[in-house]
A and B are shown apart, each in its own frame.
Chain A
Amino acid sequence: MATRHVVIGGGTAGMNAIRTIREEEAARSEITLVSAEKPYSRMVLPYYLDRSIAESHVFTATPRVLADWGVKAHLGRRVTALDAKANACTLDDGTTLEYDDCLIATGSSAVRAPVPGADGRGVHSFWTLDEARAVLAEIAPGSHVVMVGAGFIAFTILNSILALGAKLTIVEMEPRILPRMIDDAGATLVEGWLAKHGVAIRTGARLATIEDAKGRKRLRFAAGGDIVCDVVIMATGIKTNLEWLKGSGVTINRGVIVDDHLRSSVPNVYAAGDIAEGRDLITGEPAVHAIEPTAQEHGRVAGANMAGKDVRYRGSLIINIVEVCHLDVASFGAWDEAKAEAASGVKPDRPAYRKLLWRGDRLTGAIILGPSSDIWTTNDVGMLKGLVQSGVSLARFKAYLKRNPFDIKPAFIASKTTSALLPETILGRPSKAPGNTPVAV
Chain B
Amino acid sequence: MLATATNVLRIHPEKCTGCLRCELACSYMQTGTFHPAKSVIRVSPFEGHTSYAPYTCTQCAEGWCMTACPVGAITINAAGAKDVLDDTCVGCKLCTIACPYGTMFYDPDTRKAFKCNLCGGAPACAEACPTAAITYEGTATEDWLGEFARVRSARVLAGVR
Contact = CB atoms under 8 A, between A and B. Distances in A.
The answer to whether A binds B is yes
Interface of A: 12, 41-44, 46-47, 52-53, 57-58, 60, 292-293, 296-297, 300, 319-321, 323, 326, 328, 330, 332, 372-373, 375, 378-383, 385-386, 389-390, 396-397, 399-400, 409-410, 412-419, 421-422, 424-426, 429-431, 433-436
A103 to B, nearest CB: 18
Contacts, number: 168
B97 A319 contact: yes
A382 B100 contact: yes
A413 B149 CA distance: 6
Contacts of A58: 71
15 contacts: A44-B92, A60-B72, A297-B67, A321-B93, A326-B108, A383-B100, A383-B101, A386-B99, A396-B153, A400-B156, A409-B55, A417-B100, A417-B146, A418-B146, A419-B146
Contacts of B19: none
Q: Give the interface SS of chain A, mostly helix, strand, loop or mixed.
A: helix
Contacts of A60: 70-72
A385 B100 contact: yes
B94 A433 contact: no
Given A425-B61, A430-B62, A43 B102 contact: no
A52 B67 contact: no
B98 A433 contact: no
B97 A382 contact: yes
A330 B146 contact: no
Nearest to A411: B153
Interface residues of B, number: 52
B142 A382 contact: no
A172 B31 CA distance: 41
Contacts of A12: 70
Interface string B61-82: 1110011111110111000000
A323 B92 CA distance: 9
Contact of A382 (B37, B46, B101, B149): B101
Given A52-B91, A416-B150, 14 more contacts: A44-B71, A47-B91, A375-B37, A378-B102, A378-B105, A381-B102, A382-B96, A385-B98, A409-B44, A413-B149, A421-B60, A434-B66, A434-B75, A436-B76
Contacts of B153: 396-397, 410, 414
B105 A375 contact: yes
B66 A431 contact: yes
Contacts of B92: 43-44, 46-47
B62 A382 contact: no
A400 B93 contact: no
B117 interface: no
Contact of B102 (A300, A382, A397): A382
Nearest to A300: B67
A422 B156 contact: no
10 A-B pairs closest in CB distance: A386-B100, A382-B102, A434-B72, A416-B146, A414-B149, A383-B102, A418-B143, A43-B70, A419-B143, A41-B70
B149 A410 contact: yes
Given A328-B93, A433-B75, A418 B111 contact: no
B68 to A, nearest CB: 6
Contacts of A422: 58, 60-61, 141-143
B119 interface: no
B94 A53 contact: no
A424 B64 CA distance: 10
B91 A418 contact: no
A381 B104 CA distance: 9
Given A320-B97, A385-B99, A431 B63 contact: yes
Given A292-B94, A381-B97, A373 B102 contact: no
Given A414-B150, A418-B145, A425-B62, A293 B94 contact: yes
Given A41-B71, A47-B90, A418-B146, A409 B102 contact: yes
B28 interface: no
A424 B67 CA distance: 13
A430 B141 CA distance: 13
A381 B96 contact: yes
A49 B138 CA distance: 45
Interface in B10-58: 37-38, 42, 44, 46, 55, 58
A418 B149 CA distance: 12
Contacts of B104: 378, 382
Nearest to B99: A382
B143 A296 contact: no
Nearest to B95: A382
Given A414-B146, A434-B75, A332 B102 contact: no
